[in-house]
A and B are shown apart, each in its own frame.
Chain A
Amino acid sequence: MTLAIETEALGKRYGDVQAVEGLSLQVAPGEIYAFLGLNGAGKTTTIRMLLGMVKPDSGLARVLQAPVRLGRREPWASVGYLVEVPHAYPELTVRDNLEVARRLHPGTPRREVDQTIERLRLTEYADRPAGTLSQGNAQRLGLAKALLHRPRLLILDEPANGLDPAGIVEIRQLLLDLTRQEGATVFMASHILAEVARLAQRIGIIHQGRLLQELDLPALERNRRRRLVLRTRDLQAARRSLEAAGHPAAVLDDGVLEVRSQAVIERPEEVSRLLVQAGAPATHLVVEEEDLEQYFLRLIGVSGGAA
Chain B
Amino acid sequence: MKKVVKITSLVLLSSSLLVGCGGNESTDEAAATEESQQTEGTETQQAAILEEEANTYKEFAMEQLDQFVLETEQFVEAVKAGDVEKAKELYAPARMYFERSEPIAESFGDLDPRIDARLADLEAEGQEENWSGYHKIEYGLWEEGTTEGYDETADQLLNDVKELRAKVETVEVSPDLMITGAVDLLNEVSTSKITGEEEIFSHTDLYDFKANVEGAEKIFEIFKAKLQEKDTELVGTLEENFATLNDLLAQYEDGNGGYVSYEELTDEDTKALSTAVDELGEPLSQMAVVVE
Genuine A/B complex: no
